[in-house]
Amino acid sequence: MASGSQGFVPVSIRSVSKRYGPVRALDAVSLEVAAGEFVSLLGPSGSGKTTLLHILGGFVHPTAGSIAFGGRDVTLEPPHRREIGIVFQNYALFPHMSVGENVAFPLRARGRPKVECGERVGRALAMVELAGYEERRVSQLSGGQRQRVALARAIVFEPKLILMDEPLSALDKQLRETMQIELRHLHARLGATTIYVTHDQREALTMSDRVAVMRDGRLVQVGTPRGLHDDPADDFVAGFIGESTLLPVTPAGPSDVALGGVVLRSARPIPAAGALFLTLHAEKLVIDRGDLGPEWNRLPGRVAEIVYQGESLKVFVTLDAGPTVAFRQPSHHDGLRSLPQPGSPVVMRLHPEDTIVVPKAA
């Protein structure tokens, strides 16, 4: 199986709309995906991400717009002519078939010789770390192993494009996080163009080259995981990406905003018009212990509650300006020892580079 982007295709989504009667599922969505790129479609339920994936797969035709793979218009082509690998949320494995038979199914459907099928199945199962599982029954597999079989079946015929529709959502948290890293490594080995649907922002940030955030059938923002986290387009993206608290603020200068009686400086210009929100990421706030420079913004308040969450503590602080915000503190011995207790005054610090001010979504 090839690595790198050679042999894989760019995907062009051009002004794609989809209506179901009066319901607008997609509204003029345009997106360019480079050959070999991993792009996640991220958004809440009803945002249109699964509808867009189904249009890419050929299971649904758009009301308007077009889809092209490598410059070839496939808008009206049926799924079997698109040469795509698909991994569904429920895996869609055949329970009466063995693992090897499940993985070989796309090859048999294409009339490939039996010897070639056996070789390709073996390579695909080795790629997902299931070498030697050909004779196992699907019913004998764990959820994570079934997920790997579904992946092997999707890649066995070396498709130019792989589509994934929330394939990890049925797994428990620990296995899901393990599979995210394994999928990232698998993509690096294959180099296949991959479009992945998820509602889990951490999953999208972990796995993707770029993330396309969707809302109400539209693309809100497309960017790298770090770009979306550190420079969100509006309060919807800011609230959806990362663990954050959004607080209404008012402009107090070209790079300053006011939160109650506290003026905060941002390293970037303040949006020019409309309602503004300060985005406070829990991991960006730190306790003032006298070791930070004067450029850091100050947010005085009082500790309201401390919640133990294993690897970290979530600390809720009621600001002197009024609202309650949260920050995270490591739960190791030193972190516990130095943490102010509930009821104690505390000053939190926020660097201007982490002082993110966004407009209200249109």
**Which residues lie closer than 8 Å to 196 by C-beta, 6 or more apart?**
38, 39, 40, 41, 163, 164, 204, 207, 208
195 CA to centre of own chain: 11
At position 119, the amino acid (one-letter code) is E
Selection from 236, 92, 66, 240 nearest residue 163 by Cα: 92
Q: Is residue 234 part of a domain?
A: no
Give backbone dihedrals phi and psi of 174, rounded to 5 degrees, phi first: -65, -45
Q: Do the domain assignments include residue 236?
A: no
User: Could you tell me if 171 and 269 lie in one domain?
Assistant: no
| Residue-range definition of the domain harbouring residue 29 | 11-229
Do 222 and 349 reside in the same domain of the chain?
A: no
Question: Whole-prediction pTM value?
Answer: 0.87
Structural contact between residues 298 and 283, judged by C-beta atoms closer than 8 angstroms: no
If one counts the domains in the chain, the total is 2
Q: Is residue 291 one of the residues assigned to a domain?
A: yes
Asked whether residue 235 is assigned to any structural domain, the reply reads: no
Strand order in the sheet with 256-259: 262-265, 256-259, 244-253, 276-281, 356-359
Q: Spell out the per-residue pLDDT of the chain, length 362, in tens.
A: 444 444 578 999 999 999 999 999 999 999 999 999 999 999 999 999 999 999 999 999 999 999 999 999 999 999 988 889 888 877 788 888 999 999 999 899 888 888 998 999 999 998 888 999 999 999 899 888 888 898 899 888 888 899 999 888 877 888 888 888 888 888 888 888 999 999 999 999 999 999 999 999 999 999 999 999 999 999 999 999 988 899 999 999 899 999 988 999 999 899 987 899 999 998 899 888 888 888 999 999 999 999 988 888 899 999 998 899 998 887 776 656 667 889 899 999 999 999 999 999 98
Domain co-membership, 172 together with 110: yes
Q: Cα(336)–Cα(333) distance, rounded to whole angstroms?
A: 5
Integer Cα distance of 13 and 21 in angstroms? 22
Last residue in a domain, options 177, 200, 229: 229
Together in a domain, 286 and 355: yes
Q: Say if 5 falls within a structural domain.
A: no
Does 33 fall in a domain? yes
Residue type, 166: E
Considering the domain boundaries, does residue 76 fall inside one? yes
